[in-house]
Chain A
Amino acid sequence: MRTKLTILGLIALALLSYGLYQALVAAPTEQTMGDVQRIFYYHVPSAWTAFLLFFCNFIASAIYLLNRSQRSDAFALATAEVGVVFCTVVLVTGPIWAKPVWGIWWTWDARLTTTLILWLIYVSYLMLRRYSSGGQTPVLAAALAIFGFIDVPIVYFSIRYFRTQHPQPVIAGAEGSGIDPLMMKALMINWLAFIVFGAIVVWLRYKLERARQQVEEAHALREEQSLEQPRVDKPAVDARAS
């Protein structure tokens, strides 16, 4: 397990480094925006990775509701948390990009807005997990996760239409417009790097949650099996079957 993690870590490191090179050096400079545009190679892959993670959360939640497996629940939690982190990256890089280019911190641009709503939905998921009491948490959270995910296409279409009604400056130019093949290469390499990195973090978080679950079980099991011998001071009546 340790070695697998180390290998994966090295791969991630390699990809991220290569991606960095690609993003900052190899990719051509954008015509209108200049070098500021290079944040695009972190902004967009983060969004795609977050979405992928939320999809995994959806599948894990559905599986949990079907077979109540603790592993699915742990995986759902891990993917939600890491997904929220990547969402945060998108929401932070967006304004960083927008300010120098358009002079405004925020626009209700389709990707940014959808990401914001996604962020809100999954943060509310994490809050539900934190504030519900033990036994119910996995079931309630799984239900919320399913609702949240089926909302995503509805959110997307509503924001897209809203934008046609109220046009806003577009932050990420890659929507539908052609993209230079070198830029595409940098984008894809960074996305791959993010996926590998994301997988590592999810794995670690999953392991942590599994460990917590197993500690609880072990405690309860130990308590269950203590006092195993029937008490000596009671009369010897058959305590089990009738």
Chain B
Amino acid sequence: MSTLSAVLRSTLAKDLRMEWRSKDAINSMLFFALLVVVIFSFSFSPTAEESRQIAGGLIWVAFLFAAVVALNQTWARELRNQVLDAYRVSPAPANSLFLAKAIGNFIFVGVLEVLMAPLFVVFYNLRPVGPAWQLGLVGALATWALVVNGTFFAAMSIRTRSREVMLPLILFPISIPALLAMVESTTAILTGDASPVFWINLLAVYDVVFTTACLLLFETVLNAE
């Protein structure tokens, strides 16, 4: 019957297929991130040493703004033609929908990060002083931190009067500790000045706490009407 994982897989597959066809989210995200990077490059003209200090912050701000685009898009799809009603009326578990959306968003933002990273290296002449593999770990934990709360809050905000605008308003304040952690750890790895361990641990804790909270409360929020 409708198990959590079966529905999760089919929903994720459907979302990836739809995104592959329209490429709505990916294109908007990429362009947005690129704009942010270019504007920042004009605003600050850092020396090589300064670059490494500020790049961490700039990268994550760019990814954060771009992620918001994806987060809104993936739920907007479910509101067209009231398709979400068809899901709610079926026996499929609510958390399958949540996880499918969150994992889908994780993939989209992940792809964005992989595509944009070379660009940052070029614009800011980056070369990590610390161990580079840690950047991968930070990237994964940080992306999940943004995406797990982002998916949950997007599901809430897209049904309000201000729709897409509401998401950054409610997502950003709560994400501040995670943002601090991702920026600090990235800077620590790039400059080699400090250990990113505490920040990586903080991201891990943030991820666990909020994934749990999302899974516990999503069904309630989905059925709020």
A residues sitting closer than 8 Å to B (CB atoms) are 65, 117, 120-121, 123-125, 127-128, 131-133, 135-136, 139-140, 143-144, 146-148, 150-151, 154-155, 157-159, 161-162, 165
B174 & A65 in contact (Cβ 8 Å cutoff): no
B177 touches A124 (CB 8 A): no
A165 lies within 8 A of B184 (CB): yes
Contact A158 B177 (CB under 8 A): yes
- Tell me whether A133 and B161 are in contact in the complex, defined as CB-CB below 8 angstroms, given that A147-B210, A162-B184 are known contacts: yes
Interface string of B165-204 (1 = CB under 8 A from A): 0100110111011001100100000000010001000100
Known: A128-B160, A162-B180. A139 touches B206 (CB 8 A): no
Instruction: Given contact pairs A124-B170, A151-B177, enumerate 13 new A-B contacts (beta carbons under 8 Å).
Output: A124-B173, A131-B162, A131-B166, A132-B160, A139-B221, A143-B152, A143-B217, A144-B153, A148-B173, A150-B213, A154-B209, A158-B177, A159-B180
- B149 adjacent to chain A (CB < 8 Å): yes
> Does B114 interact with chain A (Cβ within 8 Å)?
no
Of chain B, the residue at the smallest CB distance from A128 is: B170
Query: Are B173 and A143 closer than 8 Å at their CB atoms?
Result: no
- Chain B residues whose CB sits within 8 angstroms of the CB of A125 once the complex forms: 170
- The B contact surface, by secondary structure, is helix
A159 to B173, CA, bound (A): 14
B77 within 8 A of partner (CB): no
Range of interface residues on B (Cβ < 8 Å):
20 to 34
Q: Which residue of A117, A140, A155, A161 contacts B156 across the interface (Cβ within 8 Å)? A: A140
Could you tell me the distance between the alpha carbons of A154 and B152 in the complex, rounded to whole angstroms?
Answer: 19
In the complex, the answer to whether B174 meets A136 with C-beta atoms within 8 Å is no
Inside 8 A of A151's CB, which chain B residues have their CB? 174, 177
Closest partner residue, chain A, to B225 (CB atom)? A135
Partner of A131, one of B149, B160, B176, B205: B160
Task: Tell whether, in the assembled complex, residue A127 and residue B170 are in contact, meaning their CB atoms are under 8 Å apart.
Answer: yes
B210 touches A161 (CB 8 A): no
Shortest distance in angstroms between A94's beta carbon and chain B's nearest beta carbon? Answer: 18
Interface centre among A128, A157, A158 (most CB of B within 10 A): A158
A176 to chain B, nearest CB (A): 20
Measured CA separation A133–B159 after assembly (Å) = 8
B220 and A139: CB pair below 8 A? yes
A133 and B181 CA atoms in complex are apart in Å by: 34
Q: Which residue of B lies closest to A152 (CB)?
A: B177
Contacts of A128 in B (CB 8 A): 156-157, 160, 166, 169-170
* B residues near A117, Cβ cutoff 8 Å: 173, 176-177
* A65 nearest CB neighbor, chain B only: B220
Q: In the complex, what residue of chain B is closest to A118 when comparing beta carbons? A: B173
B224 an interface residue at 8 Å Cβ cutoff? yes
| Distance A47 CA – B176 CA, assembled complex (angstroms) | 19
Bound together, the chains give a CA A159 to CA B178 distance in angstroms of: 11
Contacting pair A133 B224 (CB below 8 A)? no
**Contact present for A136 and B225 (CB under 8 Å):** yes
Report chain A residues within 8 Å CB of B149.
147
- The docked-state distance in angstroms from the alpha carbon of A157 to that of B177 is 9
Q: Are B159 and A148 within 8 A (Cβ)?
A: no
Could you say which residues of chain B place their CB within 8 Å of the CB of A148?
A: 173-174
Whether B217 lies near A146 (C-beta < 8 A) is yes
What is the chain B residue whose CB lies nearest that of A123? Answer: B173
- Cα–Cα distance between A148 and B169 once the two chains are bound (Å): 13
Cβ-defined contact, A136 with B159, below 8 A: yes
Contact status B176-A136, CB under 8 Å: no
Q: What are 14 residue pairs bridging A and B, where the CB atoms are less than 8 Å apart in the complex?
A: A65-B217, A120-B172, A127-B170, A131-B161, A135-B224, A135-B225, A140-B224, A143-B220, A144-B156, A148-B174, A154-B177, A154-B205, A158-B181, A158-B202
- The answer on a CB contact under 8 Å between B224 and A165 is no
Instruction: Please name all residues of chain A whose beta carbon is closer than 8 Å to the beta carbon of B217 when the two chains form the complex.
Output: 65, 143, 146
Cα A132 to Cα B163 in complex, Å, equals 9
Q: Indicate if the CB atoms of B170 and A139 lie closer than 8 Å.
A: no
Residue picked from B162, B170, B173, B202, most chain A C-beta under 10 Å = B173
How far in angstroms is the closest Cβ of chain B from A167? 13
**CA of A121 to CA of B149 in the docked complex: distance in angstroms?**
14
Return A144 CB to nearest CB of chain B, in Å. Answer: 6
Q: Smallest Cβ distance from A136 to chain B, in angstroms? A: 4
Contact with A along B137-153 (1 / 0, CB 8 A): 00000000000010011
